[in-house]
Chains A and B, each alone.
Chain A
């Protein structure tokens, strides 16, 4: 697992954005729980990635979703925020001996606790940004809080499922 951007990540970008637009768009729990699964692309990128490149990738991913959602700029802003926070969270969560060269964002390699702490923090930041920018005022704040919490939970669960399904231990060791 190196730090360069491979064909794998391009495929992941297409798959996650397509999943977001075609499937997750119509999948809303109780009218409050949204799943913004396209950020999985940003979360699953290599650990020691170029920070500047990461920011631009965040912008591109968010912008792609924005076009389909007719929410010009909202998802892009939230994704750029996520991309900016990601290296910091990774720094905070550094294991005692630092990251190994073959470490990647993988639930089997890094363990449950690391993955959940990493993913949920960043998802929370992203979703808070999305919903606050959407209402664009502090008026609907009370309505946004349950939306944010349920959505973070929903996206988190979907992300864990994605990890368990498609990021097997075997592939991680390769």
Chain B
């Protein structure tokens, strides 16, 4: 027995090394996966505070670009508002006949709810990139919600604390987004394979479709994360490889991930219903 203890004592450094590495590998496998939620991450209150302080300093250097994005977004919103107002003015069907009742499309009746959030931590150059938002469960953010910016789809909320949220960016090696080519509604999957943060791949577009450079790619709305028709990017390269039954399509992303300042977390009020229905029907949720 004493020999055993002596042996352990002699190799204590190596044993502790092995123990710590095993712990690290456990952490990596357990928490670094796409779905896995970690106890310690940048949504942690104290970590969030440090990141908020940092972004409070660095944001001053980006005020000009932040302002111009917000102004642009305002302009687009005003334009849309004007359009709807004009349409409402011109449309007087509900006043024509008091006995006629027009049934509205029920799927349009419940809109998506947007929660604005400031990006306080962001990365674009790693293999797996995350964002941290200064918006948490108190603001209505929940894990699994989609995140969009004025320009397009950004990612998906991973974990949430009271005041902060960690978002898996679209620039994550395991992040998949269901998307479609707007022109002909062919749907595929958007996937980022690393390297340049401005381009991603659009997979599973069958060969009988004729995608062209410049075609718009938007979210499909087949899952409950993103609303339909959120911009993803434009096709920049179409390649047909002989040994594959799908095109290799490169998409230039609409969002400049290096310049993100304000984003919106999308809440789908009908999500629990759709998810539980699909779950009951035995359909696995596709990302």
Residues of A within 8 A of B (CB): 21-22, 25-26, 28, 31, 34, 51-52, 55-56, 58-59, 62-63, 66-74, 76-77, 80-81, 83-84, 87, 133-136, 140, 143
Please tell me which one of the listed residues A52, A74, A76, A77 contacts residue B16 in the complex, with CB atoms under 8 A apart. A52
- The secondary structure that dominates the A interface is helix
B12 & A52 in contact (Cβ 8 Å cutoff) = yes
Q: Which of B46-54, B207-215, B265-273 contacts A (4 or more CB under 8 A)?
A: B46-54
- List A contacts of B13 (CB < 8 A): 51-52, 55, 84, 87
- B42 lies within 8 A of chain A by Cβ: yes
B194 & A143 in contact (Cβ 8 Å cutoff) = yes
20 further A-B contacts with Cβ under 8 Å, apart from A72-B32, A76-B27, are: A21-B50, A31-B195, A51-B13, A52-B12, A52-B13, A52-B16, A55-B13, A55-B17, A67-B47, A69-B123, A72-B41, A73-B23, A73-B27, A76-B20, A80-B24, A81-B21, A133-B28, A134-B127, A135-B127, A143-B194
B194 & A140 in contact (Cβ 8 Å cutoff) = yes
Residues of B within 8 A of A (CB): 12-14, 16-17, 20-21, 23-28, 30-32, 38, 40-42, 44, 47, 50-51, 54, 58, 121, 123, 125-128, 130, 132, 166, 173, 194-196
> Contacts A72-B28, A143-B195; is A59 near B127 (CB within 8 Å)?
no
> Contacts A28-B125, A55-B17, A68-B51; is A74 near B195 (CB within 8 Å)?
no
In the complex, the chain B residue whose C-beta lies closest to that of A81 is B21
B50 & A71 in contact (Cβ 8 Å cutoff) = no
- List B contacts of A134 (CB < 8 A): 126-128
User: Smallest CB–CB gap between B66 and chain A, Å?
Assistant: 16
> Contacts A28-B125, A68-B47; is A84 near B17 (CB within 8 Å)?
yes
> Contacts A73-B28, A77-B24, A80-B21; is A55 near B130 (CB within 8 Å)?
no
User: Smallest CB–CB gap between A123 and chain B, Å?
Assistant: 18
